[in-house]
Amino acid sequence: MALNRKIAYIDLTTGEITTAPIPIDLRRKFLGGRGLDAYLLLNHTRKGCDPLGPDNRLLISGGLLTATCASATARTHVMAKSPLTGLLGSTNMGGFFAPELAWAGFHHLVIRGKAKEPVYLFVNDGKIEIRSAKKLWGKTTTETQWAIRDELGDDEVKSLVIGPAGENLVRFANVMTGIKNSGGRTGMGCVMGSKNLKAVAARGTMDIAIAHPVEALEYNKRFIEQITSSKVNQTQGTLGTPFIWGATNSWGGLRTRNFQYNQLEYADDVEPERLDEIAEETCGPHHMAGCFGCQVHCRAKYRIPSGPYAGRYDEGPEYTSQGAFASEPGCTNAVTVLTGNHLVDQYGVDNLEIGSIISWAMELYELGIIDKKQTDGLDLRFGNDEALLEMVHRICQRKGWLGDTLADGGVQASEKIGKNSFDFLIQVKGMSNLHSDERATPGLALNIATASRGSDHLRSRPAIDLYHLPEPVLRKIYGSPVAYDGPLSSEHTEYIGKPWQVFWQENCYMAVDCLGICKYHTVFLGATHPNFEDWPKVIFHNTGLEFTPQQIWEVAERANMVERLFNLREGLSRTDLKKGDMLNHRYFDEPTRRGAPGVVGRFIDREKFKKMVDEFYKFKGLDSEGVPKAETLKRLGLENEPTKQI
């Protein structure tokens, strides 16, 4: 059964490996995936540990429902203390790795120490082996995966790998599986690199018994119908996530030229329809691909049509690559977007972070804060496609003064650059913002400010706030499984009701991360998608565990609070600009300049924002400084955390 999947403790320094069952009481408290990882991280790391030191734990997991009869349970979660932020490091990706890990007998890996030489782990039907990765070091992410398959003589092996960026300790290096499934945020690839861990490979043939298989399959049909009948997923299955970029740019919700504008003009060549044309021209009419157990197929297969990388195959680009290589740096060339997407996939680096930090450097260059001496002669102005792609190489290779400086992340780079460079850095808790512009959407602004791992669109974003849903519909969604009789507003520019929406979405997203389900299969972009009311039957049919919707809510609340406890222990404070629930001053001081009539001239009101944070803290059971109250910890069973190591 899924409940029989084990946890493994691996010490790369000593080579010691132990395995153990996952106690059922921990399943009931945290389910699995991200929630249980947060508990393990809090209990297995010391306060103030060096993110790049051997004592930092790296946690790799699948969710409770991974590889069962439940749809879209392909998500892999990776967690550690972040070398980018010094706070919670956490990332999540799709693909096929987590199901293979489950078939190999494991749901969670806890990795400590540092190998003397490059190694990789091979997880195979209940056994774990540490193998040499000397011949893999220096290879790209795809080269690494194919080389591991060749070495093991098995094309069914699935691997979680780092590329040269992780080896070079770029603090926002990611972990990859497949061609483009990216665990991009907070630098988990850098943590792997610091441990000389090139990859984790998995191959499994162990059955996962389903508690009630007939009922599980029948109930999953309902899920499939819900997912495939929604217009948002039908659109994603045609255009992929770039459709989000196109819609957002049309009304003025994309930060452009770092944060100077909120809409990219003359952008026809990077619109989703144009990218879809290129994919079809280069890879044929059936160019959409998907993850394990998913019916949506939201990513495109393509070949770069021209330029130095012409003919190179890749997948995507995602909404985030359009921001990183189009709107933020002010570029409007499809080949630039496709090439940039390919480079970050091969190097293994976070496209959001690298696009944002290069765009920040472009603004500094145009303002004269840095010059050609710092750029080694590179003309780093907005709209310079060649300079943009060159900086990707320099950062991932830590080449030149600026490349090496930016590879340490925005906060550390601003301290090295000096002057007033930090004022122009669009970040929260040390992590660069997504390329969206939230000045016209207070609820989304609250989301990025309070998200546990830094500025984030995948932790608590009430994205359906942009749909102008009638209040009765909003109340039906946000009034369950916990009653809420406060205000709600269909207007995305309003402040009232948004703290509850952010709080609800925070718990919703944590729940799916614990179960291993993709966020596109819950209330993220689709208002009619499955949520708390649907999951109890899915859990019961597949695992036999009984939960009510309210109990799943409590699991999510508890896990979110554990993440907050970790952050508070590592220095989080409410108003700290580098480690707090606070936005860059430009959100408050600079109105938007482009977009639809309801968007132009918008900014976040400081006092109203403060009241939103106060209200959000109240819902979470925190005091005015964001610290959990004693009664909150007792209610969630966390009054004694962290406990001794388990």
User: Which residues in 542-581 are b (16+ Cβ under 10 Å) and which e?
Assistant: bbebebebebbbbbbbbbbbbbbbbbbebbbebeebbbbb
Query: Residue 644 falls within a domain, yes or no?
Result: no
Can you give the pLDDT at residue 237? 86
Q: Are residues 196 and 300 in the same domain?
A: no
Record the tokens describing residue 507, joined without a space. 């718990």
- Name every residue whose Cβ is closer than 8 Å to that of residue 539 and which is 6 or more positions away in sequence: 64, 65, 515, 545, 546, 547, 552
Spatial distance between the Cα atoms of 171 and 191, rounded to a whole number of angstroms: 8
Q: Which candidate, 368, 356, 422, places its Cα nearest to that of 392?
A: 356
Q: Is residue 350 part of a domain?
A: yes
Angle between helices 242-251 and 231-239 (to 10 degrees): 110
Residues 333 and 197 in one domain: no
Given 411, 432, 453, the domain boundary residue is: 432
| Pair (114, 78) in one structural domain | yes
Do 390 and 465 belong to one domain?
Answer: no
Q: Are 381 and 387 in contact (CB under 8 A)?
A: yes
Instruction: Look up residue 182 and give its amino acid.
Output: S
- Could you give the CA distance from residue 132 to residue 119 in angstroms, rounded to a whole number? 4
Segment holding 514, helix H or strand E: helix 498-515
C-alpha span between 462 and 230 (Å, rounded): 18
* 244 CB-near residues (< 8 Å, 6+ apart): 319, 525
Same structural domain for residues 347 and 366?
yes
Residues 416 and 456 in one domain: no
CATH code of 172's domain: 3.60.9.10
Distance between CA atoms of residues 224 and 70, nearest Å: 9
> Are residues 161 and 17 part of one domain?
yes
Please say which residue of 432, 464, 490 terminates a domain. 432
Cα dihedral 99, 100, 101, 102, rounded to 10, equals 50
With beta carbons less than 8 A apart as the criterion, state whether 109 and 59 touch: yes
Q: Which amino acid is at 288?
A: M
DSSP single-letter state for residue 326 = I
DSSP collapsed to 3 states, 130-168: EEECCCCCCCCHHHHHHHHHHHHCCCCCEEEECCHHHHC
Is residue 302 one of the residues assigned to a domain? yes
Q: Which of 432, 456, 482 is the last residue of a domain?
A: 432
Nearest CA to 494 among 462, 456, 451?
Answer: 462
Is residue 172 domain-shared with residue 292, that is, in the same domain? no
Q: Are 31 and 75 in contact (CB under 8 A)?
A: no
| Contact assessment for residue 348 and residue 189, using Cβ atoms and an 8 Å cutoff | yes
CA atoms of 616 and 462, how far apart (whole Å): 13
Round the CA-based radius of gyration of the chain to a whole number and report it: 23
Give me the amino acid identity at 387: A
CA distance 325 to 140: 20
What DSSP character marks residue 597? T
Helix segments in 517-548, DSSP class H: 535-543
- Residue whose C-alpha is closest to residue 515's, from 109, 207, 69, 21: 69
- The terminus-to-terminus CA distance of the chain in angstroms comes to 23
HSE-CB for 287 with a 13 A CA cutoff: 23
CA distance linking residue 10 with residue 113, whole number of Å? 8
Whether residues 61 and 159 share a domain: the answer is: yes
Strands 197-203 and 119-124: parallel
Closest-CA residue to 137 (of 171, 174, 164): 164
For residue 2, the model assigns a pLDDT of: 79
Query: For the chain, how are helix, strand and coil distributed in percent, rounded to 5?
Result: 40, 15, 45
Is 22:105 a contact under the CB 8 Å cutoff?
A: no
Say if residue 272 is in the same domain as residue 404.
Answer: yes
- CA distances to 75, 372, 379, 595 from 245, rounded to whole Å, are 23, 33, 28, 14
205 contact partners, CB below 8 Å, separation of at least 6: 103, 125
The enclosing domain of 332 has a CATH number of 1.10.569.10
Residues 529 and 511 in one domain: yes
Q: 67 lies in a domain?
A: yes
Q: How many domains does the chain have?
A: 3
CATH of the domain at 494: 1.10.599.10
The residue count for the chain: 646
The answer for residues whose C-beta is within 8 angstroms of residue 222's C-beta and 6 or more apart is none
Q: Do 157 and 13 reside in the same domain of the chain?
A: yes
Structure token pair of residue 311: 């003919």
| DSSP structural state of residue 465 | G
391: left (phi over 0), alpha (psi -120 to 50) or beta: alpha
**pLDDT score at 223:** 85
Q: Which domain holds residue 92?
A: 2-203
Please indicate, yes or no, if residue 86 is contained in any of the structural domains.
Answer: yes
CA dist 201 and 193 (Å) reads 16
Give Cα 470 distance to the centre of its chain: 30
Give CA–CA dist 309/305, Å, rounded.
8
The answer to whether residue 271 is domain-embedded is: yes
> Residues with Cβ < 8 Å from 551, sequence gap 6 or more?
none
282 contacts 312 by C-beta, under 8 angstroms: no
Side-chain half-sphere exposure of 536, counting CA atoms within 13 A: 12
Would you say 1 and 542 are in contact if contact means Cβ atoms under 8 Å apart?
no
Q: What is the pLDDT of residue 646?
A: 43
As a whole number of angstroms, the distance between CA 584 and CA 630 comes to 31
Nearest to 432 by CA among 456, 412, 415, 405: 456
Q: Which residues of the chain have pLDDT under 70?
A: 1, 644-646
| pLDDT at site 644 | 62
- What does the CA dihedral 10, 16, 20, 22 come to, rounded to 10 degrees? -20
Assigned domain for 235 exists:
no
Torsion angle of alpha carbons 582, 585, 591, 594, nearest 10°? -80
Query: For residue 500, is it within any domain?
Result: yes
